[in-house]
């Protein structure tokens, strides 16, 4: 799956997302990881793992994969939680120097979250599953816009 976002400062970025469903799914939350690099307080920079506390706090068996890509991940990018970090550097920079944090996020988007990076990341995995495409939010409120959507690769 590929996540694109319009949430500043991640705007324009493309990330390949790895999702692992446990045997107890949907009663237990899936493991979610970013395949290409991202600079975010709640995402481990090297492994791409998303903070399990963040997922488990909001998980419900009523959720499905669309909720992960249409709600959970866009909200995670839009509203990072620097008080429960997996990436201490990103959390500290976000709290102490917000403009520096935004600049570093944008640098990572330019370096690691491009179509070329997605294509390269696809060549590094043995995953032969096809990518799915899901449209953006269908909110009734005009003032709310989606933080991101999925694109087909």
The arrangement of strands across the sheet holding 31-34 comes to 31-34, 14-20, 2-5, 148-150
Q: Which helix (H) or strand (E) holds 33?
A: strand 31-34
Q: Which helix (H) or strand (E) holds 2?
A: strand 2-5
Catalytic annotation, pick one of 17, 51, 94, 147: 51
Could you confirm whether 103 is annotated as catalytic?
no
Helix residue ranges, H only, 33-86? 52-58, 65-67, 73-78
CA torsion, points 81, 50, 106, 150, in degrees to nearest 10? -110
55, 72 in Cβ contact below 8 A? yes
* Catalytic positions: 51
């Amino acid at each position: 799956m590929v996540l694109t976002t319009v949430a500043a400062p991640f705007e324009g970025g493309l990330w390949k997302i790895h999702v692992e469903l446990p045997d107890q799914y949907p009663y237990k939350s899936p493991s979610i990881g970013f395949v290409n690099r991202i600079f975010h307080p709640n995402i481990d920079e090297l492994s791409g793992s998303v903070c399990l506390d963040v997922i488990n706090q909001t998980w419900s068996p009523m959720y499905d994969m669309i909720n992960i890509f249409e709600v959970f991940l866009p909200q995670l990018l839009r509203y990072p939680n620097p008080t429960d970090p997996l990436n201490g550097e990103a959390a500290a920079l976000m709290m102490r120097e917000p403009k520096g944090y935004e600049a570093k996020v944008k640098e990572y988007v330019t370096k690691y979250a491009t179509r070329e990076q997605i294509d390269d990341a696809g060549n590094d995995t043995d995953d032969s599953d096809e990518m799915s495409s899901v449209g953006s939010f269908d909110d009734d409120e005009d003032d709310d816009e989606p933080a991101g959507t999925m694109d087909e690769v």
